[in-house]
Every structure is written in C-alpha cells, then in structure tokens.
Amino acid sequence: MLLLNLDNVSKSTPLVVFSHSPLQKIYKGWNFWTDDAEEVQALLKPFDKVNVLYGHVHQIQTNQIGNISFNAAMGTSWPWPYPATYKQQASYLPKLTVNMNRADPFFERDATGWQFINMHTGRIDVNYQLPRNQNRVVAWDDEAGLPDDTQFQDAADRIPPQTHY
C-alpha cells in the first residue's frame, strides 16, 4: 500500500511518515522493532527529504539512516527505561540519541512529556516539553546533514546521569 501511495509523489517532495513503532530495529525485547524496516526504508530511499516520527518508545530517540531522519515522540503516560539498562538482548539504540537525564524514578511523570513539531523546512525540528526536567530541542542541522540535539549532542555538555538504587 505504501508503494502505491508513493508512486505519484515527486521525489523532491518532503515526506513525513508517522508510525506507532520505530521503522528501524532498536530493541526487539520491547518491540522497539519493525521486522520489515529495511523494506520500508528502501521504499523511502528515492526521496530527497524523509522524516519518520514514531511513538511506542516513550523517550527521546534520534537517528539518521541515509536520507531518512528518525525522531521519537515522548510518552504522555509513563516512560520506558533505555534498553541499555537491560542486558538480556542486543540493543541498537541509535548513535545520535542523547539519553535523557531521568532525575527521579519515583516521579510518575519523569521522562514523559509532549512535543511541538516544526516541519516548515521539509525537515523535522522537535521541541520536547518535559515536566520537571530540562526541555530539549532536536533540530535538523543543514551543515551536518542530520538531526542534532541542540544543547546536549556534544558529550561534554550533557548532564551526568544520576545513580538510582
């Protein structure tokens, strides 16, 4: 069906694809995974600007695969921990992802939030609103050719994670 929908679209038209689950393979144990992700990506490859906005993961995730930018939407109900905290299965968390500083694991809204999405340029800029945490912006960087966490992409600028017991 996706192929039929894309057949009549100019390759220079910016695309925004909404998906509940990531259209990439991140962590199968929690279904942060789409079995036919490579097939979907191949259908999107001919287009100049492709943006995938997905949910399910309830956390900030960012990735770039070829011409396709990936941005996750925050959960409004409860957070998932990052897959790296569980060692039972391989995790492929996107390298561009800057983990959130989860300040209080006993605060039910920790790592939840919502976002404002700017699609004016044909690329997605996501303004994450995080209650009782620092708001974040992941914006398209024309020079680098990929999405960038405007404040925390550089590891030296990150807030150190807290130890929780």
d(CA 45, CA 41): 6
Residue 102: the pLDDT is 60
Determine what percent of the chain is predicted with pLDDT higher than 90. Answer: 50
- Residue 83 maps to a domain: yes
Exposure on the CB side of residue 105, measured as CA atoms within 13 A: 8
pLDDT of residue 77: 74
Q: Identify the domain containing residue 143 by its residue range.
A: 2-156
Q: What is the pLDDT of residues 69-109, one digit of tens each?
A: 999 988 877 766 666 666 666 667 777 777 766 656 566 66
Burial of 83 (0-12, 13-18, 19+ CB in 10 A): buried
In the predicted structure, residue 57 carries a pLDDT above the cut 80 = yes
User: Does residue 162 lie within any of the structural domains?
Assistant: no
Report how many domains make up the chain. Answer: 1
Q: Tell whether the model's pLDDT for residue 19 goes beyond 60.
A: yes
Average pLDDT over residues 38-56: 96
CATH code for the domain in which residue 54 is found: 3.60.21.10
Q: Is residue 27 part of a domain?
A: yes
Question: Is 23:40 a contact under the CB 8 Å cutoff?
Answer: yes
Q: Residue 165 — very low, low, confident or very high, per pLDDT cuts 50/70/90? A: very low
Instruction: Give tens-digit pLDDT for 121-141.
Output: 999 999 999 877 788 999 999
Give the global pTM: 0.85
